[in-house]
Amino acid sequence: MHEELKNIWKNFFNWVLGNGPRPENEVIPPDPPPDLPFTQKPQDKYSRFHEATIKERYEQWLEIHGLHIFSILYSGLSILTCVVIVCLLLATVAELPPFGHERNPANNEVIRRYVEHGGHETGAQNIVAGLILDYRAFDTFGESAVLFTAAVSVLMILGASRRNKLNKSPSLKSETTSRNFLQRGPPSLDEPILRGVASLSIPAILMMGCVVVINGHLTPGGGFSGGAILSTALILASNAYGPERVHEFYNERTFIVSSSTALMIYALSKGYSFFTGANHFHSIIPKGTIGNIFSAGLILPLNICVGLIVAGTLYTFYSLFSKGDL
Amino acid sequence: MINIFAFNIPFASIFLLMITAIVTPLLPKKNRFNEKFSCCVIGLVAILSAYLLYALTNGGQSLAFNFSMGHFPAPWGNELRAGPLEAILALFFCVAMLLSLTGNFSSTAEDIAPNRRQIFCVLVNLLMASLLALTYTNDLFTAYVFIEINTIAACAIVAVKEGAGTTRAAIRYLIMSLVGSGLVMIAICLLYDLTGHLLMQNMHGAIQVLMVTKEYTMPLTVALALITVGLGIKSALYPFASWLPDAHGTSTNASSAILSGLVLKGHIFTIIKIFYRVFGLDVIHYLRMDTAIFIFGLVAMIMGSVHALRQTNIKRMIAWSSVAQVGYIFLGVGLNTVAGVAAACLHIIIHACVKPMLFTAAGGLSAVAGHKKNLHELMGTFYINRWAGLGLIAGAFSMMGIPAFAGFASKLSLTMASFDHPFIVWSLATLATSSVLNALYYVPAVIVVLTKNKNAQNKITAPEPTTLYKFSMFVFLSLNFYLGLFCMPLLRLITRGVNVLQ
């Protein structure tokens, strides 16, 4: 006991003095070069302050205070710019047509047709779904492509290069895993509460997501919101059971193939619809009866496509930013 | 009336490129099949655009048509619009993109890892599709969506080359570009609130009514200013161009060529469309935005060149020169006349052909100097890679505005356009000053490249430029001379296109 206390004290003493065991990857700075004899010493420029010219004094002053003054100026100007822009925008908003007034310019024939004829023209009970996936389906195609672009860009920047480096040097691998800041404590093994709750809630979340996606043309929701719900199930599973388990059924290849296929189905089916619409050809896509699950033409399959893309993109972002791999 | 084949070309070009982008990750990577496939598709779209141009201007007429995307007519559904100007721009964008890719085919392989090249290919296709969508769209919100695709893809093709410099440049570019997107978004919301439409000609009608009743002038001015500044940031208008030299100077040669030649131009053409089709020239003049743009253009022409003078890295020098050239385009837009905008569009096309050539040439020269990019290290490289040397010399002469080279044509048309404008003195003086400044930094570069290197023992045995490189450079050079010598028919076509733009 006495020996052990002594040992602890010694360790503590060494730690205070900085003589403790060095970490393996510590960089030891090289020793400074030995001092030259006084006669050979290079003359210090500012040692004789009274002889310095104004320019030298200014440079010296700038070296000491420059950064400080710059940061003050920078933040001051930033605040000033922001205040000016905020005032300008607030003044603009105050001049806009009053909110919800019936004679506003936005309440025109465009909105009227969406509201009055949206149902039987698109076959969708949910007017918003009919608006974004039938009237203005090209914009929604662009939005899905934005997500796809962002996901493949992040995959390219974080995924491939990091993995290559990891394969090359195992030391970097341990460092990367230890820097895994989003993952508190060891993953999965000793978190019975998380795993228990996850096993109960993941099926429910998946079910909820599917319902929101599939009923997108009948009730509020659709591909974007349902896809976000689906991705939370994947993220929860990755946290509770470890990313390796999710990796078994959802990896980089699955993501690329599912998003590409979904976007492809969107592009081809909607391309057909655009082509027939613009050339006034007859389209073979049936509208169905409003309120049925199989109705509203292409909206149901398009919602499923968008849902797949959104779920995949959100999980990819989470996975790449938290552990650098998918 | 236009035939049904040409009628479907705008829609078909956008969808062909989108589908190629989507299918590229599933294609085999072996033997760079996917990259060759993308080049073929872009070439096909170029041929289609050329046919569309022929169909629209056949027999002295200038047609324009609307293509509704889907079964619902325009204010309810989305719509594309194609006229001669859109077809010309689509054609030259495709040609410049194709040549940027083929000219840098081997340098792309050196700079980018194979698994990244596949996604690079996806991004290039998405970029091209978004450029065409920006060119053809008739709907402000569709324009915004494709500006987003354009932004993300453009930042990603900077970061595709691994390295600290490119990552930093890409992040800087992303932040600046997103500020621009945010401003454009706010402006579109304001405009929608004031007009109740997103379709360009309906917005135009509503704004004309507001101008007569003198209502909401202040929000309209703010919206116009926000949209101009937002797109100005993305198209590197001078005070907002600080991101450009890093992004264009550090990325791989193909990315630099694409970014400088095409991505900036897509946003500038969006500004022109918004000025013409949403606001109308008289409203722009009433709200004084033309004068503001004109002054920004003048400042950019001088300051871009002044910054370029201080560079020692050849790619950064060419990148800063882009800032000056963007100033020329904004000068033309700021003249606010049909002739001015036509000259600006001509300069868009000429710069889209010359700047990729300069970047490709600079890449070729620095490759034979052992991938060094400082000017003094490129001494005598002309004699090792003569095609690249010729490209650099022709590009430099073009940027200075030597007659018979492409840049001369656009400078001439800008000068002609400014003759019936009150600010003629300013415009002519700045054009002259800027040309001299251009010469001050391009001539030394040409002299260095042409000077024989005396200490030949450390000469690097460089690989012979590939046939594809020589071919691309040959096409670039012939385009350069074609545009320089025979630009008048093209300018007439553009003027007809601008006339039917309204």
Query: Which chain A residues are closer than 8 Å to B26 by Cβ?
Result: 256-257, 260
pLDDT tens readout for residues B229-247 = 999 999 999 888 889 998 8
Per DSSP, A19 falls in state -
Interface with chain A: mutation pick from B119, B166, B229, B287, highest number of A CBs within 10 Å: B119
The single-letter code of the amino acid at B280 is: G
Question: CB of A216 within 8 A of CB of A299?
Answer: yes
Residues B162 and B164: their CA atoms lie apart, in Å, by 7
Question: CB of B25 within 8 A of CB of A152?
Answer: yes
pLDDT at B378: 83
Query: Which chain B residues are closer than 8 Å to A89 by Cβ?
Result: 186, 222
pLDDT band at A174 (very low <50, low <70, confident <90, very high): very low
Position A188 pLDDT exceeds 60: no
| Nearest of A90, A134, A65 to residue A288 by alpha carbon | A134
Q: What 3-state DSSP class applies to A15? A: helix
A87: closest chain B residue by CA: B222
Residues A282 and B67: their CA atoms lie apart, in Å, by 17
Position A181 pLDDT exceeds 60: no
Cβ-defined contact of B193 to A96 (cutoff 8 Å): yes
Residues A275 and A181: their CA atoms lie apart, in Å, by 50
How remote is the C-alpha of B395 from its chain's centroid? 16
The ranges of chain B with pLDDT < 70 are: 455-462
Per DSSP, A132 falls in state I
pLDDT at B452: 82
* Segments forming the whole domain that contains residue B384: 4-499
SS3 percent helix, strand, coil of chain A, rounded to 5, is: 70, 0, 30
Structure token pair of residue B315: 């790619």
Interface with chain B: mutation pick from A85, A139, A298, A305, highest number of B CBs within 10 Å: A139
Residues 6+ apart with CB under 8 A from B11: A271, A274, A275, A278, B67, B69, B80
Burial of A211 (0-12, 13-18, 19+ CB in 10 A): middle
Q: Which helix H or strand E contains B68, and what residues bound it? A: strand B65-69
A150: closest chain B residue by CA: B152
Q: What 3-state DSSP class applies to B113? A: coil
A100: closest chain B residue by CA: B193
The single-letter code of the amino acid at A28 is: I
How remote is the C-alpha of A293 from its chain's centroid? 33
What residues does B79 pair with on adjacent strands? B68
For B135-163, what is the HEC assignment? HHECEHHHHHHHHHHHHHHHHHHHHCCCC
pLDDT at A13: 79
C-beta contacts of B491-494 below 8 A and 24+ residues apart: B491/B342, B491/B343, B491/B346, B491/B409, B491/B413, B493/B53, B493/B57, B493/B84, B493/B88, B494/B84, B494/B85, B494/B88, B494/B342, B494/B345, B494/B346, B494/B349
From A239's Cα to the closest Cα of chain B, the distance in A is 28
The structure's pTM equals: 0.86
pLDDT band at A36 (very low <50, low <70, confident <90, very high): low
- The conformational region for residue B170 under phi > 0 = left, psi -120 to 50 = alpha, else beta, is alpha
Per DSSP, A184 falls in state -
Per DSSP, A125 falls in state S
Mean pLDDT over residues A278-296, rounded?
78
The total number of structural domains in chain B stands at 1
Burial of A173 (0-12, 13-18, 19+ CB in 10 A): middle
Query: Which chain A residues are closer than 8 Å to B159 by Cβ?
Result: 153, 156-157
Q: What are phi and psi of B423, to 5 degrees?
A: -95, 30
Cβ-defined contact of A88 to B222 (cutoff 8 Å): yes
Mean pLDDT over residues A101-112, rounded?
83
CA dihedral (B402, B407, B412, B415) positive or negative: negative
Interface with chain A: mutation pick from B22, B132, B144, B211, highest number of A CBs within 10 Å: B22
Query: Mind giving me the DSSP string for B258-296?
Result: HIIIIIHHHHHHHHHHIIIIII-HHHHHHTTHHHHHHHH
B160: closest chain A residue by CA: A157
pLDDT at A164: 56
Q: What ipTM, to 2 d.p.?
A: 0.90
Cβ-defined contact of A105 to B142 (cutoff 8 Å): no
Mean pLDDT over residues A37-45, rounded?
54
> What rounded mean pLDDT belongs to chain B?
89
For residue B277, the tally of other CB atoms under 10 A from its CB is: 18
pLDDT at B350: 93
SS3 percent helix, strand, coil of chain B, rounded to 5, is: 80, 5, 15
Residues B153 and B130: their CA atoms lie apart, in Å, by 9
Mean pLDDT over residues A49-60, rounded?
76
| Nearest of B200, B218, B331 to residue B274 by alpha carbon | B200
Query: Which chain A residues are closer than 8 Å to B218 by Cβ?
Result: 91-92, 95
B26, B120, B193 ranked by CB distance to A97: nearest: B193
Cβ-defined contact of A95 to B8 (cutoff 8 Å): no
Residues 6+ apart with CB under 8 A from B116: A156, A160, A161, B160, B162
pLDDT band at A48 (very low <50, low <70, confident <90, very high): low
Structure token pair of residue A277: 């619409």
End-to-end C-alpha distance for chain B, whole angstroms: 19
Residues A132 and A177: their CA atoms lie apart, in Å, by 42
Query: Which chain A residues are closer than 8 Å to B67 by Cβ?
Result: 278
Residues B291 and B298: their CA atoms lie apart, in Å, by 11
Per DSSP, A241 falls in state H
Position A172 pLDDT exceeds 50: no
Residues B7 and B55: their CA atoms lie apart, in Å, by 9
